[in-house]
Structure 1
Amino acid sequence: MKRLATGVPGLDVVLGGGLEPGSVTVLAGAPGAGKTILAQQMCFANATPEHKAVYYTTLSEPHSKLVRHLDPFDFFVLQALGPRVEYLHLGDLIRGDRPGRMEPLVDEVARKTMDEHPVLVVIDSAKALRDFTGERELRMAFYDLTSRMAHADAALLLLGEYTPAEMAAGVEFSLADTIIHLAYEPREPIDRRWLRVVKMRGTHHLEGKHTFRISARGFEVFPRIETLDTGPAQEVTGRIHSGIPGLDVLMGGGIGAGEATVILGPSGIGKTIAGLGFVTEGISKNERCLYVTFQDTADQLVKMAATFGWELGTARDQGHLIVHHVPLGELDLDLLAERIRQELLGGPIHRVVIDSLAEMVLAARETDRFPAYARSLTGIIRAAGATLVITSETAALGPSQEPIGGVTFLFHNVILLRYIEMKSSTGRALNIVKMRNSDHSKDVYCFTVAADGLTVSGPLESVTGVLGWSALRTPTPAS
């Protein structure tokens, strides 16, 4: 089926390819949700001198104000006004000699569409027409308009500040081929905008709420990762070195290629250092690596690595290491997943580090959603043939509990780091809690963080309690 690409990043993925020519789409949402920006961006993306976009206004902002508000956006081209994108006002046709009659409006839109063959026709706001006529007259007008537009190649967009109740009962929604609901959701530390495709005839669209943002680049949609078909995991075999001296032998030769590993431990225990060692090892083997961080910036990570003798600045400059820093105040799950997906599509990536899981869970604010999200995220990384290491925070004191979100079941390997009391000093201990389909050491080992990074040494002898007590205990000999 022929589709009209919207020209809005991410939206065509959600719509299953775009809009059908001759179809009717309702963009519904509260004031400030982004309807007008979205519609205008679609106009500028699709309009040509041969097939322009026609933007009708009813009782919305004056055209001069609409254009002035477009100036900050990259998609806006002043020279396109008129030859490619034409703004027209329908107010006089509504308030003419026969107020309440919709025939002049329908005739004008249909005539211009048939005579000039525009690619896109917008009516902003369609809901405002309800202020000038009754329900019966409006129903007949919308039916007439949509019937006549069905014979054209233009896609018709109807914009309106509709409530959920109006969306459930309004004639516009029963006649529409596609309904897109836009919403603005206040929340801390950063508000969220999302859209949902409520209805779309004749195509397979992606369900659920999809985050979108409006910036100088315009409207950008980040498809909900759980709804994407990530494909099967790429077949990769063998073992890869972890970059942590002493660990690979405990794991039967290293981490399984293409597997997902979670490193658990309290703040300051060495999780980030383990992640840096992992990518340093990959870069030494000419592997391309991605490091996703929510706290340390790229420069801070490079500086931290340098203290252990690891030169990551050159690797970053040459494109062998990609550092994607997401400040916590800007962390959104859908945006993060899309950024990672695009990096994976941009070229082969062999190793991925995400530091850390705890920040992602706190950013989610959707506890029920997170396990499915985490499964999908690990799925797209494995589908690209990359090996994933993700860190996660645990309590510094007391038993090491399951991380927030309860998703360790998703990982092939679980490595636990913890502080221990050794007589009057504080030490560090490591044990491999789980390795799926692989034999591994079951003992608890000491490890240190020194000038050359994290190093695993010998096992702790004659102690117990690592999984259930706040401190390791030496068993009392039987009397």
Structure 2
Amino acid sequence: MNSAAPATKARTGVSGLDTILAGGLSTGHVFLLEGNPGAGKTTIALQFLIEGARLGELGLYITLSETESELRAGAASHGMVIDGNIEIFEVVPPESLLDADQQQSLLYSSDLELGETTREIFAAFERVKPRRVVLDSLSEIRLLAQSSLRYRRQILALKHYFARQGATVLLLDDLTSDVLDKTVHSVVHGVIHLEELAPNYGSERRRLRIMKYRGQAFRGGFHDFIIQTGGVVVFPRLVAAEHRSSYLRDQISCDIPKLDLLLGGGIERGSSTLILGPAGTGKSTFSFQFLVAAIRRGEKAAAFIFDEELGLLLARLKVLGMDLEAMRDAGQVHIEQLDAAELSPGEFAHRVRDCVDKLGAKTVIIDSINGYQASMPDENSLVLHMHELLQFLNRQGANTFLTVAQHGLVGDMKAPVDVTYLADTVILLRYFEAAGKVRRAVSVIKKRTGFHEDTIREYRIGANGLTLGGPLVGFQGVLRGVPEFIDTAKSLLSTDGGDSGNS
């Protein structure tokens, strides 16, 4: 007998799902978990029963489709233990219905099968007296019922029976018999819908949505989730308005005086900076300059790399005097290389949030938005995801540095997606030709939080890191990549490799 008292909410045992459901499933009610085969219904159902067993509640898994050995094998693959608090009841047709000589001629066999199946389900419940029940799956009952009227009456009978017993029930539906039939939606207390999407390249993406939950507020919209060893993990959609903190909005330095001057004294804490430019201009180097400066101030940082191979990046930065590998080993920075083809936007936002909440990172680099965009279903979703993520980071007092590679090298260049209006500061990097050499120029074209220089400065990347010169007053058309000499070239950086321009 089960001695555990029923709680107001039955926790599902699925990481993140209870957050979306505002605590879990209301006890004593019937819920529908629907999705195509392979979406993760059985895994969630097993986690639901195992969580109940952990709390001392008896569970009953009624299967009309999978066998008991298949369920146990599936649970074992996730490291789940189905103990004595969980009973698996396998419903099989009566032997007479499997015998061709005993087939009914005056009555449809489905009439007998449906009645017999229902009696077996009720008998199993009366024997076990569970607090949590899983019925897998409704497609089999729908086929036995044959008509929508009989199917609805059967579902209502199951609902009222379980409600009288005070059990919390998950009905599983694999949507294989009639995807347009919404009979169960109107009967059950809540509906959880699972989807599996197959992109043109990369692994499948899974997401879920709470379509209905009577008398309960819940987090709407789609939420990404994954199936991994151990079960399903859900990543609740990030809502920046739910996360606020207080911090001092001071200006922070990048440790390069002339770059700080260009930025009007530095970057304001809790702001986002977009570094824009063609390939090879040093966008990553600029962003990591801010990260290293933050670590020197004693802060923690995090970097998420989509494009460059991590080993190559660490080696390249070490040559520039930024030993990120040592900082990582010392626990000062979290560096992670991501594969956009294997990562959903929700999982990425969850990883960033973890670094801020658990590690205490105050500087976050996303390099680059081009790679991040590859994990998005479309451009509009990228902008919405970026807005919420940047708002969250800003409200935590973290500084975010984003890089975007523009198409082309000189002349009219375009970015694959326009996110300049989302960032608080925009730093523009450009190639230009002067004195027979390809040179680089930097300018700040936007800063919401205060004054900034409107000049264009040349910079060089060398053994001492970033070196900035004075304003390029002798040129016009640098941003177009084809400058005109209007004075002299005296404002150009010297070619001796020194770093006096930073002083």
Aligned partner of 2:473: which letter?
Answer: E
SS of the residue aligned with 1:329? helix
Aligned partner of 2:267: which letter?
Answer: I
- What's the counterpart of residue 338 of structure 2? 326
Aligned partner of 1:30: which letter?
Answer: N
| Higher mean displacement: 100-109 or 188-197 | 100-109
Q: CA RMSD in A?
A: 2.6
Q: Distance in 2 between matches of 1:378 and 1:11?
A: 24
**Partner residue of 1:471 out of 476, 482, 500:** 482
**347 and 328 in structure 1: CA distance in 2 versus 1, 3 angstrom threshold:** closer
Count how many residue pairs are aligned between Structure 1 and Structure 2. 469
Residue deviations 1:252-310, cap 9 Å, x none?
A: 21101111111111111111111222111111111011111113355444323221222
SS of the residue aligned with 1:158? strand
**128 and 266 in structure 1: CA distance in 2 versus 1, 3 angstrom threshold:** same
1:421 maps onto 2:426 in alignment: no
Instruction: Report the Cα offset of residue 314 of structure 1.
Output: 2.9
Q: Distance in 2 between matches of 1:402 and 1:436?
A: 22
Residue deviations 1:25-56, cap 9 Å, x none?
A: 21212222221122122222322484222110
Instruction: Report the Cα offset of residue 438 of structure 1.
Output: 0.8
- What's the counterpart of residue 4 of structure 2? none
**331 and 246 in structure 1: CA distance in 2 versus 1, 3 angstrom threshold:** farther
- What's the counterpart of residue 30 of structure 2? 24
SS of the residue aligned with 1:44? helix
**336 and 457 in structure 1: CA distance in 2 versus 1, 3 angstrom threshold:** same
TM-score (normalised: structure 1): 0.90
| Higher mean displacement: 425-434 or 338-347 | 338-347
- What's the counterpart of residue 494 of structure 2? none
Residue deviations 1:114-166, cap 9 Å, x none?
A: 66442321111112112222433322221122123224443211112216x94
- What's the counterpart of residue 212 of structure 1? 225
Aligned partner of 1:72: which letter?
Answer: S
1:344 maps onto 2:335 in alignment: no
- What's the counterpart of residue 157 of structure 1? 170
Q: Distance in 2 between matches of 1:321 and 1:194?
A: 31
Q: Distance in 1 between matches of 2:415 and 2:132?
A: 50
| Higher mean displacement: 354-363 or 238-247 | 238-247
CA contact (8 A) 1:53 1:85 kept: yes
**Partner residue of 1:412 out of 410, 415, 424:** 424
**Partner residue of 2:151 out of 116, 125, 138:** 138
- What's the counterpart of residue 87 of structure 1? 88
Aligned partner of 1:35: which letter?
Answer: K
Matches of residues 11-410 of structure 1 in structure 2 within 5 Å? 11-48=17-54, 50-58=56-64, 60-74=65-79, 76-77=80-81, 80-81=82-83, 83-92=84-93, 99-100=110-111, 102=114, 105-106=117-118, 108-110=120-122, 113=125, 116-133=128-145, 134-162=147-175, 166=178, 168-190=180-202, 191-225=204-238, 227=239, 229-232=241-244, 234-399=246-411, 401=413, 403-410=415-422
CA contact (8 A) 1:222 1:335 kept: yes
Instruction: Report the Cα offset of residue 69 of structure 1.
Output: 2.7
- What's the counterpart of residue 496 of structure 2? none
Q: Distance in 1 between matches of 2:362 and 2:413?
A: 31
Instruction: Report the Cα offset of residue 176 of structure 1.
Output: 1.3
SS of the residue aligned with 2:161? helix
**248 and 196 in structure 1: CA distance in 2 versus 1, 3 angstrom threshold:** same
1:440 maps onto 2:445 in alignment: no
**328 and 419 in structure 1: CA distance in 2 versus 1, 3 angstrom threshold:** same
Aligned partner of 2:63: which letter?
Answer: T
CA contact (8 A) 1:106 1:144 kept: no
Aligned partner of 1:389: which letter?
Answer: F
1:5 maps onto 2:11 in alignment: yes
CA contact (8 A) 2:279 2:409 kept: no
**299 and 52 in structure 1: CA distance in 2 versus 1, 3 angstrom threshold:** farther
CA contact (8 A) 1:233 1:379 kept: no
CA contact (8 A) 1:114 1:152 kept: no
Q: Which runs of 5+ in 1 are unaligned?
A: none
Q: Distance in 1 between matches of 2:464 and 2:379?
A: 39
SS of the residue aligned with 1:295? coil
Instruction: Report the Cα offset of residue 432 of structure 1.
Output: 0.4
Instruction: Report the Cα offset of residue 181 of structure 1.
Output: 1.6
Instruction: Report the Cα offset of residue 409 of structure 1.
Output: 0.6
Instruction: Report the Cα offset of residue 230 of structure 1.
Output: 3.7
Instruction: Report the Cα offset of residue 382 of structure 1.
Output: 1.3
Instruction: Report the Cα offset of residue 472 of structure 1.
Output: 2.3
| Higher mean displacement: 112-121 or 185-194 | 112-121
SS of the residue aligned with 1:405? coil
**440 and 110 in structure 1: CA distance in 2 versus 1, 3 angstrom threshold:** same
SS of the residue aligned with 2:185? helix
Q: Distance in 2 between matches of 1:331 and 1:471?
A: 40
- What's the counterpart of residue 497 of structure 2? none
| Higher mean displacement: 341-350 or 105-114 | 105-114
Aligned partner of 1:19: which letter?
Answer: L
Residue deviations 1:82-113, cap 9 Å, x none?
A: x0221102234798798525455445545655
SS of the residue aligned with 2:10? coil
Aligned partner of 1:218: which letter?
Answer: G
**90 and 303 in structure 1: CA distance in 2 versus 1, 3 angstrom threshold:** same
SS of the residue aligned with 1:363? coil
SS of the residue aligned with 1:207? coil
Instruction: Report the Cα offset of residue 234 of structure 1.
Output: 3.9
Q: Distance in 2 between matches of 1:107 and 1:342?
A: 49
Aligned partner of 1:180: which letter?
Answer: I
Q: Distance in 1 between matches of 2:58 and 2:423?
A: 52
